[in-house]
Amino acid sequence: MQQGMHAAGNMLGEDRDYDVVPYFFSDLADWASLEYVGPAYEWDEEIWRGDADAGEFSVWYLKDGAVAGALSVERPEDLAEARRLLADGVDVSAAVAQIADAGSDLSEIA
């Protein structure tokens, strides 16, 4: 458990950990929509998905085989899957090629 995320449920009379995946977004005028999930304080691998030159890509930050964070530019579907995999703590080390393939179905990674 990360620091600062313990027992936030007490406000509602529940004793459970605060488990929201951090998220932010920014629309850069008419140029691009940028979104990010995860704390990704550190990572040991980056996976690029999509076409950076075309302005539609995502960068996945992995730590010990799990998603630590993801940055998406004009690929919200990638971000939704990254958020799911991060929240579930899924080991994606065997799916690196699938994540890198912009045409693959990320919902198949479990």
pLDDT tens across 41-82, in order? 999 999 999 999 999 999 999 999 999 999 999 999 999 999
Structural domain spans, the chain: 8-108
Q: What is the pTM of this model?
A: 0.80
Phi, psi of 107 (to 5 degrees): -70, -15
Q: What is the DSSP letter of 41?
A: S
- As a whole number of angstroms, the distance between CA 33 and CA 38 comes to 17
CATH 3.30.390.30 fits 8-108, yes or no: yes
Task: Please tell me the predicted confidence (pLDDT) of residue 18.
Answer: 57
pLDDT tens-digit profile of 12-51?
Answer: 666 666 567 888 888 877 778 899 999 889 999 999 999 9
Which positions ≥6 away from 68 have C-beta within 8 Å?
38, 39, 40, 41, 42, 43, 61, 62, 86
